[in-house]
């Protein structure tokens, strides 16, 4: 003490999130605060709901941002659907499946775990076997894009299996929303949560969720109260609900919602499908450069989330030293491994506003230079050239 | 569709919160986002913890902002301390005591309700009687400043009674932190939560909490897991904890925390005691003007929260029409009644950055003009003159 105003360093964010935020989204956040029951704010809430329906590809009435980070959205889905004694099948192939398991257990569920190796997609065969072995199961929970490994699972197939066995689905789309194809209604997903700070490139701290009519009905017909008052969607929806009559539940994070609205307007301007295609294109360019640096992806190509590239740390390299040098010398953040993969992988994100050719080239140049300096026989220039060639080919199409 | 960027109306916020946000706090929020594990961000977290200790007047190590609104902070206190079967004495004298009861019950508590009329302080005599009648009680929960009525209860006395009966306290300081005297250590409060959007004049969406060493020990020695994974302070503190080694728990709302830091730096610059005194002074000035308009406070003077002035709606006046006219014609927001008081009172806030002479004068002028126009025999000029005289007398001291 005394403390002085905080002026953050200017970073380029290419980790697993948060991603870089567009200047217009930051500007939106700094607009003057209005009351959370102001008619102008109620209009904003309606627009945010409609824009989230667009992003999720759904017509679900219960679609809104939870006033908390993705973790709060995850728990909102779990505690509203799970009642004590319910059997929940949790598919785990990374950190976040484990978190779903922990939350379901705290909600009183009997959890059946379907495990796949970290770095591989959830196996539909294993899920089907678990569904057959547990006819009492009520819910299947899985992660669409595992943020800890960069794996994309086949959500449509997994949901279809769950439905065939009369199970609801809880689906983690934190890293996929706005970045990878996600079709909530077409795929029949029931309770879906995401985060604001990944491919939407909004400030961290909000968690868009959407519940199907079936999931909503299950919540309305619970035998027990939802254990969390804060997360009880029946109460929250009286605040976020339709019509002009809103009931106070909590004070919404007004300025954060300004920024979510702006980031969704940007997504609408680009087009949801176009955003998916951009994330895929840029993955190919980054991949070409990373492979030129001799890097190995930990996920087979067909199972990769294009916006999150997980690669093994080359032998003989201290991964923390490299990340620290990228941060200190280039103001570039890439992600470390999480959980069982800590120390052995890097996670390079190309999400939302961060997913730009400038960042692909900048990251490859910085990473190549540092790796060469740390003793690897690699060329940053070659890596950059490979990526630029892919970008040029894409532009020519 | 398509939607366009949202430009909010410029309001003056004199309701029960959010309050107006200082331009420098809005600017801080719009600074570029950095990663939530960035060394620069870890430094910011340490400063925020120290500044919150200053605001709460505590040395509690477990002091941090919950990544959610005050409602999430309230529930964090409840679910970490309550285990199924615990007896919790909840003092209710307004909306928020009722919410504490609902949360404690969802946590499996046996709730003993100590009721006082809305608009009156919690009665120490009634609490003592309940403590004697329920020697098994583990926790006493009460609201320091009831946001629904503008009542300030004697937190020091209530906590001392609880302690004498070996009970922990859960204390709601959402509207008092930064506005009214609050001394967490001196008064021996155990689990205390607040909100960012009241007297701290920060963006809504964060909830500062602080746990005494005793409360922390009780959490660490629980027989059961905390029902919420998101709110489990043992997990959250591994992220917000001391030292350079932080464990990932969730992604903190980076930009909101920039603004919380800036608003706390402003509080430090003014001085915590000076901020309390300012809120009290401005209450006297507003009171003089409101009384000149013939308004009746619903709370006896000795029990008032100076920053939240609850007055009865004059007979023959449609309260919603007046609020709507203030909003539409003056861009001025005052608060309606909540719960049992809906339709019969207004709540006029003078919190944080909103607590300025300009707003006192502006509110009285607007309210007086609208009330006269709606048929009341009152003079806006006289009300303004009364307030200005009090302000002049204060300035002369």
**CB-nearest partner of A225 from B27, B106, B228:** B106
How much is the pLDDT for B243?
Answer: 52
* Contact between B35 and A75 using a beta-carbon 8 Å cutoff: no
DSSP A120: S
How near does any CA of chain B get to the CA of A283, in Å? 21
* Contact between A230 and B75 using a beta-carbon 8 Å cutoff: yes
Q: Nearest residue on chain A to B32, judged by CA atoms? A: A10
Q: pLDDT of A140-153, one tens digit each?
A: 999 999 999 999 99
Counting one residue from chain A and one from chain B, the pairs whose CB atoms sit within 8 A come to: 269
Q: Does B197 contact chain A (CB < 8 Å)?
A: yes
Q: Nearest residue on chain B to A248, judged by CA atoms? A: B338
Q: pLDDT of A232-282, one tens digit each?
A: 999 999 899 865 567 889 999 999 999 999 999 999 999 999 999 999 999
Please tell me whether the peptide bond between B18 and the residue prior to it is cis, using omega within 30 degrees of 0: yes
A183 Cβ partners below 8 Å, 6+ apart?
A57, A156
* Contact between A6 and B262 using a beta-carbon 8 Å cutoff: yes
Of the candidates B223, B225, B231, B224, the residue with the CA atom closest to the CA atom of residue B250: B231
* Contact between B41 and A8 using a beta-carbon 8 Å cutoff: yes
Q: What is the signed CA dihedral for B134, B140, B146, B152, rounded to 10 degrees?
A: 90
Q: Mind listing the domains of chain A with CATH numbers?
A: 22-268 (3.40.640.10), 272-396 (3.90.1150.10)
Is the pTM above the cut of 0.95? yes
Q: Nearest residue on chain B to A74, judged by CA atoms? A: B230
Of the candidates A135, A76, A66, A141, the residue with the CA atom closest to the CA atom of residue A111: A141
For residue B300, the tally of other CB atoms under 10 A from its CB is: 11
Interface test with B, best of A20, A27, A255 (most B CBs within 10 A): A255
Cβ burial, residue B334 (10 Å; 0-12/13-18/19+) = buried
Contacts of residues A276-283 at CB distance under 8 Å and 24 or more positions apart, as own/partner, are A276/A179, A276/A180, A276/A181, A278/A355, A279/A179, A279/A180, A279/A199, A279/A306, A279/A307, A279/A350, A279/A351, A279/A355, A280/A180, A280/A306, A281/A394, A282/A306, A282/A350, A282/A355, A282/A356, A282/A357, A282/A360, A283/A307, A283/A309, A283/A350
C-alpha span between A91 and A104 (Å, rounded): 12
**CB-nearest partner of A254 from B1, B32, B203:** B203
| Among B residues 280-339, those touching chain A with beta carbons less than 8 Å apart | 327, 333, 338
Alpha carbon distances (Å) from B131 to A369, B36, B91 = 69, 44, 11
Q: Which residues of A touch B102 (CB under 8 A)?
A: 229
Backbone phi and psi for residue B313, each to the nearest 5 degrees, phi listed first: -70, 130
Q: Nearest residue on chain B to A99, judged by CA atoms? A: B229
Q: Nearest residue on chain B to A25, judged by CA atoms? A: B30
Of the candidates B56, B120, B134, B148, the residue with the CA atom closest to the CA atom of residue B90: B134
Alpha carbon distances (Å) from A229 to A71, A92, A102, A234, B105 = 16, 28, 19, 10, 10
Q: pLDDT of A317-365, one tens digit each?
A: 999 999 999 999 999 999 999 988 999 999 999 999 999 999 999 999 9
- Which ranges of chain A would DSSP assign to H, the alpha helix? 23-29, 39-56, 70-81, 95-106, 124-133, 155-164, 184-187, 213-220, 233-240, 254-270, 272-292, 319-330, 357-373, 380-396
Q: pLDDT of A35-90, one tens digit each?
A: 998 999 999 999 999 999 999 999 999 999 999 999 999 999 999 999 999 999 99
| Among B residues 62-81, those touching chain A with beta carbons less than 8 Å apart | 67-72, 74-75, 79
How near does any CA of chain A get to the CA of B21, in Å? 7
How much is the pLDDT for B5?
Answer: 97
Query: Would you put residue B224 in left (φ > 0), alpha (ψ -120 to 50) or beta?
Result: beta
The dihedral through the CA atoms of B302, B305, B307, B312 has a sign that is: negative
C-alpha span between A8 and A26 (Å, rounded): 14
H or E element that contains B322:
helix B319-330
Number of continuous H segments (helices) and E segments (strands) in chain B: 14, 13
Q: Which residues of B touch A27 (CB under 8 A)?
A: 30
Q: Which residues of B touch A71 (CB under 8 A)?
A: 229-230, 249-251
Cβ burial, residue A307 (10 Å; 0-12/13-18/19+) = buried
The most distant pair of C-alpha atoms in chain A lies apart, rounded to whole Å, by 66
Interface test with A, best of B8, B24, B226, B338 (most A CBs within 10 A): B8
Q: Which residues of A touch B2 (CB under 8 A)?
A: 265, 268-269
* Contact between B27 and A30 using a beta-carbon 8 Å cutoff: yes
Q: pLDDT of A99-110, one tens digit each?
A: 999 999 999 999
How near does any CA of chain A get to the CA of B291, in Å? 26
Give me the average pLDDT of each 10-residue run along chain B (397 residues): 94 97 98 95 96 98 97 98 98 97 98 98 98 98 97 98 98 98 98 98 97 97 97 93 75 97 98 98 98 98 97 97 98 95 97 98 98 97 98 95
Interface test with A, best of B205, B206, B233 (most A CBs within 10 A): B205
C-alpha span between B181 and B184 (Å, rounded): 10
How much is the pLDDT for B397?
Answer: 84
How much is the pLDDT for A246?
Answer: 76
* Contact between A106 and B29 using a beta-carbon 8 Å cutoff: no
C-alpha span between B16 and B338 (Å, rounded): 10
C-alpha span between A223 and B61 (Å, rounded): 40
Q: What angle do CA B369, B372, B374 make, to 5 degrees?
A: 110
Q: pLDDT of B174-203, one tens digit each?
A: 999 999 999 999 999 999 999 999 999 999
* Contact between A33 and B103 using a beta-carbon 8 Å cutoff: no
* Contact between B54 and A1 using a beta-carbon 8 Å cutoff: yes
The average confidence (pLDDT) of chain A is 97
Q: Does A26 contact chain B (CB < 8 Å)?
A: yes
**CB-nearest partner of A9 from B40, B203, B227:** B40
**CB-nearest partner of B228 from A3, A106, A252:** A106
């Amino acid at each position: 003490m005394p403390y002085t105003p905080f002026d953050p360093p200017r970073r380029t964010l290419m980790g697993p999130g948060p991603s870089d935020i567009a200047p217009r989204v930051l500007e939106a956040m700094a607009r003057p605060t209005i009351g959370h029951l102001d008619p102008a704010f109620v209009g904003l809430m309606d627009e945010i709901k409609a824009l989230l329906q667009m992003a999720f590809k759904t017509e679900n009435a219960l679609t809104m941002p939870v006033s908390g980070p993705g973790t709060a959205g995850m728990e909102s889905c779990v505690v509203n659907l799970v009642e004590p004694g319910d059997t929940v099948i949790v598919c785990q192939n990374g950190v976040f499946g484990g978190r779903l398991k922990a939350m379901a257990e705290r909600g009183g569920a009997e959890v059946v775990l379907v495990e796949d190796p970290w770095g591989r997609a959830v196996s539909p065969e294993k899920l089907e076997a678990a569904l057959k072995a547990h006819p009492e199961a009520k819910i299947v929970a899985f992660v669409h894009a595992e943020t800890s490994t960069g794996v994309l699972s086949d959500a449509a197939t997994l949901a279809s299996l769950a439905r065939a066995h009369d199970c609801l689905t809880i689906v983690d789309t934190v890293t996929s929303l706005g970045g990878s194809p996600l079709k909530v209604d077409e795929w029949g997903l029931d309770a879906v949560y995401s985060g604001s700070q990944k491919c939407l490139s909004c400030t961290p701290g909000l968690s868009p969720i959407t519940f199907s009519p079936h999931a909503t009905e299950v919540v309305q017909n619970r035998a027990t109260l939802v254990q969390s008052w804060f997360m009880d969607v029946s109460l929250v929806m009286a605040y976020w609900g339709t019509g002009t009559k809103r009931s106070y539940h909590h004070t919404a994070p007004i300025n954060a919602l300004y920024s979510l609205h702006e980031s969704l307007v940007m997504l609408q301007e680009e087009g949801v499908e176009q955003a998916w295609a951009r994330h895929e294109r840029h993955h190919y360019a980054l991949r070409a450069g990373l492979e030129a640096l001799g890097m190995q992806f930990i996920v087979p190509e067909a199972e990769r989330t294009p916006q999150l590239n997980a690669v093994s740390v080359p032998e003989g390299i201290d991964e923390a030293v490299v990340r620290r040098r990228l941060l200190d010398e280039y103001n570039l953040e890439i992600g470390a491994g999480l959980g069982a993969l800590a120390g052995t992988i890097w996670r390079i994100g190309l999400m939302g506003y961060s997913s730009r050719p400038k960042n692909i080239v900048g990251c490859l140049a910085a990473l190549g230079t540092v790796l060469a300096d740390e003793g690897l026989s690699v060329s940053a220039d070659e890596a950059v050239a490979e990526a630029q060639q892919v970008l040029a080919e894409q532009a020519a199409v």
